[in-house]
Amino acid sequence: MRDAITLQTRAGHWLVALLVLGGLVFAVVGFATGDTFYLRLATEALIFGGLALSVDILLGYTGLLSLGQALYFGLGAYVSALALIAWQSFWAAIGASLAAALVCGLAGGLIANRVRGVYFALITFGMAQVLAKAVYNTRALGASDGLIGVPVLDINLGLFSVSSASPVGFFLFVLAVTVLFYVLAAYLLDTPFGRLLIALKANENRVLFIGYRTSTLRLGSYLVAAVIATLSGALYPMLRGFASPELLFFSTSGNAVITVILGGVGTLVGALYGSVLLTIVKSVVGSWTEHHLIVIGLIFMAVVVLLPKGLMGLVQPALVSVLGRGSRR
Amino acid sequence: MLQIRDIHVHYGRSHILQGLSLSAAPGEVIGIFGRNGVGKTTLLKTIAGWLQPTSGTITIDGTAIHHLSSHRIARLGIGFVPEDRRIFPHLTVQENLTLGFLQVPGRSRAQSRMALDEVYAKFPRLKERRSQPGMTLSGGEQQMLAMARVMIGDARLLLIDEPSEGLAPIIVAELYAIIRTMKENGRTVLLVEQNITNALAVSDRFVAIERGQIVHAGTAASESDKQQLMEAIAI
């Protein structure tokens, strides 16, 4: 018999497989109809799904509410845009973003992890605001206009290459990268390190008393989340051809938190489904009215009240019980 | 092995422990008694590194620990079983236990497996429930799990805070049997307990604390010492 956390993780894997399947069908339909708009929109949903995934690692597993994850997403977008303008190389952009993520994640983690709870939320919010304002006022980075003129890119993957201008190709590429982030995060959270994070969320003192330095654990989780958020952000300018300061604003961080809560906190896969759902809602409602935030606010409230475990709270328990029956047999 | 010399501990402006000294030898069980709020739990928390004494020293086998952080103290083989809900509710019983031995330095996988088997042999009830999340255990089982976790972590000194609180007598008897085994294995135990009769049955020595100081000390075998203990804490 498998334990509850393992079964839940397995259920998550099946739901990601379903998402991939849906993505492939969508890509075929999009390719056949020659669509660009919806493929681009779906690509963006997946990129923001990566950001939400990073929020879920912190919120759902470690119990840390970050209100400034946009810091890393925006950092990735800007560093990647700068690298792409300078070298026109995908791998240079990813390498530079990864280096920036490690340096800034470590620095940010050391600062933010000095405090807990509401103070952690406020410090992460503050750090993101500082960077957002600095970028907004820096002419070399395009100031309020953002960095424009990111060239179209051929992503060389060894056996074949994908053009960032190809709606289907780049969509499939981002789908693969997002799934890779999911697999990495799910693997990491299934190790003893992940179990310690779950223990940490329940009671930090108890983890200390059995002999772990909890500050290192929290820093580790923060760093993993920072890397995933930054690398997700690094994909953004490849899709849109620019990086804007809005990516660093609170609205981006706040949206990521809403995404995770809609999808289901502590499920990982919920972050991805939440992002797809939120993007669809924004797009559909946005085509009727510019006040789409009101609708999103209402949906958010309804989910918090009626579905405290988010969308995944509806689907996952059923899947868990099916998988549980299977493993007992 | 444990030497506490003249420690003073403050909570803000309140002076909780006021020059308390205590020592314990290997394999010794010491009962710590006193009314609510006299500093019994504070003493355990201070040894475990949750609180830092404002003055005085605490040493384990000659190593000063009073300035170390909790996780370093735990790695020196000091296991704290606090009074509150004692386990990680979302992790399974087995995961709760394996977290306990992951931090023992230099232990091989095979040794960890053996330690786990040993604990399961002692706590068959935990073995039955090994894939269940901790939160589905009863209060008594949770307490057993907390004790098993410090045992598996190879603790030499166990700090146990009110193990029998709110538990059925039959479970309490099982827990005390476990404490007795720990003692036979040469582990030192500081046992804070309201149920003096139970605690005295496993203790070698005891101390009574009043207003942050030890007001009475004696051996559990001596009837006159026990009589004085009851008078000292006015029960």
Domain-wise residue ranges, chain B: 2-232
Compute the nearest-CA separation of B197 from chain A (Å): 28
What are the structure tokens assigned to B111, written together?
A: 């040794």
| A positions 192-231 inside 8 Å of B (CB) | 192, 195-196, 198-199, 201-203, 205-214
> Which among A192, A201, A211 has the least Cβ separation from residue B75?
A211
Are B90 and A211 a contacting pair at CB < 8 A? no
Is A210 close to B89, i.e. CB distance below 8 A? no
Spatial separation of the C-alpha atoms in residues B172 and B163, rounded to whole Å: 8
Cα–Cα distance, B64 to A289 (Å, whole number): 68
Considering the domain B2-232 in this protein, what is its CATH number? Answer: 3.40.50.300
Distance CA A155, CA A302 (A): 42
- Give the lowest-confidence range in A55-59, A198-202, B18-22: A198-202
Query: Virtual CA dihedral for B1, B7, B10, B15, nearest 10 degrees?
Result: 130
ipTM of the complex: 0.75
End-to-end CA distance of chain A: 9
Q: Which of A202, A211, A212 sits opposite B89 (nearest CB)?
A: A202
What are the extents of the domains in chain A? 4-328
**If DSSP codes are grouped into helix, strand and coil, which group holds residue B235?**
coil
B105 pLDDT higher than 70: no
Contact yes or no for B197/B164 (Cβ under 8 A)? no
Q: Which residues of chain B are within 8 Å of residue A201 when distances are taken between CB atoms?
A: 90
pLDDT at A63 over 80: yes
Closest residue by Cα to residue B215 from B35, B4, B10, B13: B35
User: How close is the nearest chain A Cα to the Cα of B230, in Å?
Assistant: 33
Output the pLDDT for position B220: 85
**Contact across the interface for A211 and B91, Cβ inside 8 Å:** no
Q: Which of B74, B88, B149 sits opposite A202 (nearest CB)?
A: B88
The overall average pLDDT reported for chain A is 92
Q: Would the CB atoms of B99 and A195 count as touching at under 8 Å?
A: yes
Partner residue facing B99 (CB), from A2, A199, A213: A199
Q: Which of A161-165, A316-320, B77-81, B195-199 has the lowest mean pLDDT?
A: A316-320
pLDDT at B103: 65
Per-residue pLDDT of A229-247, as tens digits, reads 999 999 999 999 999 999 9
Which chain B residues are Cβ-neighbours of A63 within 8 angstroms? none
Identity of the residue numbered A230: T
CB pairs < 8 Å spanning A and B = 77
Residues of A in contact with B80 (CB under 8 A): 209
Q: Are A13 and A157 in contact (CB under 8 A)?
A: no
What φ, ψ does residue A258 adopt, rounded to 5°?
A: -60, -40
Amino acid at A277: L
Contact call for A3 and B92, based on CB within 8 A: yes
SS3 B33: strand
What is the distance between the alpha carbons of residues B186 and B178, in angstroms, rounded to a whole number?
13
Tell me which chain A residues have a C-beta less than 8 angstroms from the C-beta of B86: 206
Structure confidence by residue, pLDDT tens digits, A117-173: 899 999 999 999 999 999 999 999 988 889 998 999 899 888 889 999 999 999 999
- The whole-number pLDDT of residue A320 equals 85
CATH topology for A4-328 is: ABC transporter involved in vitamin B12 uptake, BtuC (1.10.3470)
Question: Which residues 82-141 on chain B approach chain A with CB closer than 8 angstroms?
Answer: 82, 86-92, 94-95, 98-100, 102-104, 131-133
Choose from B95, B145, B154, B157 for mutation: most chain A CBs within 10 A.
B95
Q: Does A2 touch chain B (CB under 8 A)?
A: yes
Angle among Cα B30, B24, A206 to the nearest 5 degrees reads: 75
For residue A151, give the DSSP letter: P
State how far the Cα of B201 lies from the Cα of B233, in Å rounded to an integer. Answer: 18
Residue of A8, A189, A198, A210 for testing the chain B interface, max B β-carbons within 10 Å? A210
Q: A3–B95: do the CB atoms touch at under 8 Å?
A: yes
pTM: 0.85
> SS3 for A156?
strand
Asked if residue A329 has pLDDT above 60, the reply is: no
The number of beta carbons lying within 10 Å of the beta carbon of residue A126 is 15
B44: chain A residues, CB-CB within 8 Å: none
Counting Cα atoms < 13 Å in the Cβ hemisphere of A125 gives 12
Q: The tokens of B151 are what?
A: 């045992």
- Could you say which of B49, B90, B98 has the minimum Cβ distance to residue A5? B90
DSSP assignment letter at A59: I
Asked if the C-beta of A34 comes within 8 angstroms of chain B's C-beta atoms, the answer is: no
Residue A191: closest CA among chain B residues belongs to which residue? Answer: B95
Grade residue B185 by pLDDT with cuts at 50, 70 and 90: confident
Reduce the secondary structure of chain B to three states and give it as a string.
CEEEEEEEEEECCEEEEEEEEEEECCCCEEEEECCCCCCHHHHHHHHHCCCCCCEEEEEECCEECCCCCHHHHHHCCEEEECCCCCCCCCCEHHHHHHHHHHCCCCCCHHHHHHHHHHHHHHCHHHHHCCCCEHHHCCHHHHHHHHHHHHHHCCCCEEEEECCCCCCCHHHHHHHHHHHHHHHHCCCEEEEECCCHHHHHHHCCEEEEEECCEEEEEEECCCHHHHHHHHHHCCC
Between CA B14 and CA A34 the distance in angstroms is: 75
Can you tell me the distance from the alpha carbon of A106 to that of A219, in angstroms, rounded to the nearest whole number? 7
For the ranges A133-142, A281-290, B59-68, B107-116, the lowest mean pLDDT is seen at B107-116
Q: Which residues of chain A make contact with B91, given a CB cutoff of 8 A?
A: 5, 195, 198-199, 202
**Residues of chain A found within 8 Å of residue B87, distances taken between Cβ atoms:** 206
Q: Which residue of B has its CA nearest to A215?
A: B71
Closest Cβ opposite residue A209 in set B74, B90, B91: B74
Between chains, do A198 and B86 touch, taking CB under 8 Å as contact? no
Which residue from B28, B21, B20, B2 is spatially nearest to B182, judged by alpha carbons?
B28
Q: Answer whether A209 sits within 8 Å of B132, measured CB to CB.
A: no
For A244-297, write each residue's pLDDT tens digit. 999 999 999 999 999 999 999 999 999 999 999 999 888 888 888 888 888 889
Tell me which residue in A1, A202, A213 faces B71 most closely, judged by beta carbons. A213
Nearest to B153 by CA among B110, B95, B112: B112
Is the pLDDT confidence value at B102 over 70?
A: no
Instruction: Kindly state the percentage of chain A with pLDDT values over 70.
Output: 98
The predicted pLDDT at position A71 comes to 97
